[in-house]
Homo-oligomer: A and B are copies of this chain.
Amino acid sequence: MGAISYIYLNLEISGMALTHAILTALLEEDLTGYELAKQFDVSLGFFWTASHQQIYQTLKRLYAEELVTAREVSQTGKPDKRVYSLTDSGRRSLDAWVLSETKKRKVTDELFAKLYTVGHSSTAAVIDAVIQRQHDHREKLALYRKIESRSYAAPLKLPDQRKGVYLALLAGIRQEEASLLWCEDALSLLVSVSQVG
C-alpha cells in the first residue's frame, strides 16, 4: 500500500522546468495563458524565456495534474479567457521544488557568438547586432525602472511576499544597466576594427 501511494505521488510530479516558473507566477495572482505569455515576454523575460505555445501546453498539463484549477471568464469587448489558479497540491509542489537543488542556469545568446567572428567576417553586421541589443536593453531598463518606481519605491517596507519579486526586478535592472554600459564600450572598440568580408 505504501508502494501504491508512492507511485501515485510520483505521477503527479512534473519534471519540466517551466512548470515551476509558471506556478511561481501564479503565487502572486491568478493569470491566463495569455497574461503569463506577456509576463514571460517582459518582466520575467530576463531570467526565463517561453513562447505562448509552450505556456498553453504546460498549463494544460498542470491542469490535468491538478496543480492548478481553471475557470472560464466572459469579458465585454474582448474574447473569453481561461483563468488559472494554484491548488494546494500546486503549492506543495512548489514547496518541494524550492528545497530541491537549483539547476544550472541555461543560456544561448547568439550576439556573443557573433562577436567571436570579429576580424573574420562582416564587422558591420556585428555592430548592427550590438546596436539592436542596445535598443532592447534601453527599453527593458526603462520598463523595469517604471515598475520599480510604481510598485517598489520602498523595498524595506514591502511585505515579505513581495521582497523576492522585488529582488528579481532589481537583478533585472542591474543586468540591463551593466549590459548598456558594455554596449557602449563594445561599440567604441568595434569601430577600430578594419572592414572584412
Which A residues are closer than 8 A to B by beta carbons? 17-18, 20-21, 24-25, 27-28, 46-49, 91, 94-95, 97-99, 102-123, 125-126, 129, 132-133, 155-156, 159-168, 170-171, 174-175, 177-179, 181-182, 185-186, 189-190, 192-194, 196-197
Instruction: Using A94-B121, A160-B194, A163-B189 as known contacts, list a sample of 5 further A-B pairs with CB atoms less than 8 Å apart, ordered by residue number in A.
Output: A24-B116, A95-B122, A102-B133, A160-B193, A178-B178
User: A125's contact among B99, B107, B111, B197, by CB below 8 Å, is which?
Assistant: B99
Complexed CA–CA distance, A166 and B107 (Å):
19
What residues of B have a CB within 8 angstroms of the CB of A125 in the complex?
A: 98-99
What residues of B have a CB within 8 angstroms of the CB of A91 in the complex?
A: 120
Complexed CA–CA distance, A162 and B119 (Å):
7
Complexed CA–CA distance, A160 and B197 (Å):
13
Cβ–Cβ contact A108 & B111, under 8 A: no
**How many whole Å from A191's CB to the nearest CB in chain B?**
11
The contact sample of 20 A-B pairs, CB cut-off 8 A, is A20-B113, A24-B113, A27-B117, A47-B112, A47-B113, A48-B113, A98-B114, A98-B117, A99-B122, A105-B107, A105-B109, A105-B110, A106-B109, A107-B107, A115-B165, A116-B164, A160-B193, A167-B182, A167-B185, A174-B179
